[in-house]
A and B are shown apart, each in its own frame.
Chain A
Amino acid sequence: MQAWEFRMRYLRLYAYFLRFSMSRSMEFRLDFFFRIIMDLAYYAVGLGFFHILYLHTDSLGGWNMHQMRIFVAGYILVDAVHMTMFSNNLYMLPRFINHGDLDYYLIRPVSSLFFLSLRDFAFNSFINLIFAGGIVVWAVGTYPGTLGASGIAVFLLLILAGALLYYCIHLLTILPTFWTQSGESLHQLFYNLSRFMERPDRIYRGSIRLLLTVALPFGLMASFPARLLLEPFNWAILAQLLAVLTGFLFLISFIWNRGLRAYSSASS
């Protein structure tokens, strides 16, 4: 019963976050539409890039164009979930740490990491999340082979796991702010490295592959869910994705708690 009440409390809190975010997002109406167009352009560039590439080849990373479209739809969905739920919050986090504004969140009777990671829901990106969902439907719908409903459901669930992993790595590049006071360069590095998510994992070889599927797992986020959908089911792929995600969740929880101990509250 207590666990149920605990979950309901967090759900109610999240409902409040949604309500406040909705009103806030309409404050800057023109920017609301600019952001939608910006993300749509990002999706168009992703699809256009592979469309042009497949004018010169039939297969890349073991996938044909139809399979690649499903992979692209997957990474677009990872990005859209991240932009909708986490991105705005993580953008503000270094400022809160540096200005001493974290105090306000630490005294709340809920998980500070939950509050700071989810308090701002980006409604403009939510519109894009719907478009991203449409791209997935289009990519799956135009796929010439047979894709089972259970396979598609697993794909979508693992894409959500990929989005969570993406959030973990993004947060990891921000947490050093507790000690360094300036996290801008690492934050920028995250966006640069996120390019590795936008290409199929099989193009990475040797030590780069090991790096991108274990230590900086951008190669897992969209590629592994797509491989499980498009190829014969492989438990090792599923196990690796879930093991890496679990490891990263423990890691951010550990570093967050260490960071809070180092947090002095004084602004700089």
Chain B
Amino acid sequence: MPLNLALRLFALEFKRAFAYRAEFWIGFLGNALSQFGVAYCLWAAMFAGLGKTILQGFTLPDMALYYLLIPLVERVVMGPEMNHISSEIYEGTLTRYLVYPVAFFRFKYVSALAQSLVFAGQMAAVVGVFLLIFGVPPAYHITGSGIALALLASAIGTLLYFVLAACLEMVAFWADNVWSLMVLNKLVLHFLGGGLLPLVFFPQAMQTILKLTPFPYLVSFPLRFLMGGMSMAEMETGFGVMAFWIVVLSLLASGIWRRGVKQYAGVGI
């Protein structure tokens, strides 16, 4: 895609994101703070009930920052918007992309990336405020290289999520509604990715299996770079598994697209 077109798309998405500022901030803060609030109350009760200060390597402040970062990372990697491909199919507006001189998926991915960049800005603001008020909790070792690797993992995560979501959204070529399928996807990702509770709390066998799936890499993997203690082998395995799933899901998406477009009538419903 030409750079000037990509930049225009970025500008367009920035304008869209800030068009309804109140909704933008209420949606963001409502999700992040409620998730954080519920988790903080739960873990405070858990630590107090057990009379311990460390659980699976986490102190309560570590846990607090983890649950503050999780919804932010999810927002950057997955974006808030669902149905951005299926709605084009249902409304028949996919037709215009078929005649555009740019590939449909590249166009959509650049839009998604622009949204992610806006959310990354929000994330930086919230984390900055937290660190200014509470300082850096003990389990975190925030370094320049850690931040760079976390950003890299998030950026690759956006691509992984995009191809995964595209495969599911293109079910819209055959099904009447895929909204529930997308909600299901986010629900499973949130739980198996470590969004509801850190993966170190899962049984060991389950952790081993999950490391081979895309789930942790879309939710908690970027955070591990900020927490330190990740070996080079773990890092290589992580990025390797991400690359594997991106290739597999891209091939799958390409196959679904080829068959789906033949099915597409372009009239909308």
- Chain A residues proximal to chain B, CB less than 8 Å: 27-31, 34-35, 37-38, 41-42, 45, 48-49, 52-53, 55-57, 59-61, 182, 184-186, 188-189, 192-193, 195-196, 198-199, 202-205, 208
B residues 135-189 touching A (CB-CB < 8 Å): 174-181, 183-184, 187-188
Q: Are A55 and B203 in contact (CB under 8 A)?
A: yes
B residues 12-35 touching A (CB-CB < 8 Å): 20, 22-23, 26-27, 30-31, 34-35
Q: Which candidate, B40-48, B105-113, B256-264, is the interface stretch facing chain A?
A: B40-48
- Interchain CA distance A192-B71 in the complex, whole Å: 12
Q: Does residue B210 face the partner (Cβ distance < 8 Å to A)? A: no
Q: Does residue B230 face the partner (Cβ distance < 8 Å to A)? A: no
Q: Are B34 and A204 in contact (CB under 8 A)?
A: no
- Interchain CA distance A186-B27 in the complex, whole Å: 8
Q: Are B180 and A199 in contact (CB under 8 A)?
A: no
Q: Are B45 and A61 in contact (CB under 8 A)?
A: yes
Q: Which candidate, B49-57, B126-134, B218-226, B236-244, is the interface stretch facing chain A?
A: B49-57
Minimum C-beta distance from A247 to chain B (A): 23
Q: Are B46 and A57 in contact (CB under 8 A)?
A: yes
Q: Are A182 and B23 in contact (CB under 8 A)?
A: yes
Given the contacts A34-B184, A185-B23, A185-B30, A192 and B35 also touching, CB distance less than 8 Å:
yes
B residues 181-228 touching A (CB-CB < 8 Å): 181, 183-184, 187-188, 190-191, 196-197, 201-203
Residues of A within 8 A of B196 (CB): 45, 49
A-B contact pairs, 7 of them (CB 8 A): A31-B178, A31-B179, A57-B49, A189-B30, A199-B38, A203-B45, A205-B44
| Total chain B interface residues with beta-carbon distance under 8 A | 39
Q: Does residue B37 face the partner (Cβ distance < 8 Å to A)? A: yes
Among B34, B188, B197, chain A packs the most CB atoms within 10 A around the CB of B34
Q: Are A57 and B184 in contact (CB under 8 A)?
A: no
Q: Are A34 and B181 in contact (CB under 8 A)?
A: yes
* With A45-B188, A182-B20 already in contact, 6 other A-B pairs whose C-beta atoms are closer than 8 Å: A31-B177, A41-B188, A55-B201, A189-B30, A193-B34, A208-B41
- Interchain CA distance A203-B38 in the complex, whole Å: 9
- Interchain CA distance A61-B175 in the complex, whole Å: 43
Q: Are B31 and A192 in contact (CB under 8 A)?
A: yes
Residues of B within 8 A of A59 (CB): 49
Minimum C-beta distance from A176 to chain B (A): 12
- Interchain CA distance A61-B46 in the complex, whole Å: 8
Residues of A within 8 A of B37 (CB): 196, 208
B residues 57-94 touching A (CB-CB < 8 Å): none
- Report whether over half of chain B's contact residues are helix, strand or loop; otherwise say mixed: helix
In the complex, which residue of chain B has the Cβ closest to the Cβ of A204?
B41
Q: Are A198 and B201 in contact (CB under 8 A)?
A: no
- Interchain CA distance A41-B44 in the complex, whole Å: 27
Residues of B within 8 A of A35 (CB): 180
Q: Are A53 and B176 in contact (CB under 8 A)?
A: no
- Chain B residues proximal to chain A, CB less than 8 Å: 20, 22-23, 26-27, 30-31, 34-35, 37-38, 41-42, 44-46, 49-50, 55-56, 174-181, 183-184, 187-188, 190-191, 196-197, 201-203
Given the contacts A38-B183, A56-B56, A31 and B176 also touching, CB distance less than 8 Å:
yes
Residues of B within 8 A of A61 (CB): 45
Among A29, A37, A195, A202, chain B packs the most CB atoms within 10 A around the CB of A195
Q: Are B46 and A52 in contact (CB under 8 A)?
A: no
Q: Out of B34, B174, B187, which one reaches A195, CB within 8 Å?
A: B34
The 8 tightest CB contacts between A and B, nearest first, are A31-B177, A28-B176, A203-B45, A185-B26, A185-B23, A192-B34, A34-B180, A30-B175
Minimum C-beta distance from A153 to chain B (A): 30
Q: Out of A30, A48, A203, which one reaches B44, CB within 8 Å?
A: A203
Q: Are A199 and B41 in contact (CB under 8 A)?
A: yes
Residues of B within 8 A of A53 (CB): 46, 197, 201
Q: Are A38 and B177 in contact (CB under 8 A)?
A: no
Q: Are B187 and A41 in contact (CB under 8 A)?
A: yes
Q: Are A49 and B22 in contact (CB under 8 A)?
A: no
In the complex, which residue of chain A has the Cβ closest to the Cβ of B33?
A192
Given the contacts A45-B187, A203-B44, A34 and B38 also touching, CB distance less than 8 Å:
no
Minimum C-beta distance from A55 to chain B (A): 7
Q: Are A202 and B202 in contact (CB under 8 A)?
A: no
In the complex, which residue of chain A has the Cβ closest to the Cβ of B181?
A34
Residues of B within 8 A of A27 (CB): 176
Q: Are B202 and A52 in contact (CB under 8 A)?
A: yes
- Interchain CA distance A52-B174 in the complex, whole Å: 37
Q: Out of B41, B176, B202, which one reaches A30, CB within 8 Å?
A: B176
Given the contacts A31-B175, A41-B184, A196 and B49 also touching, CB distance less than 8 Å:
no
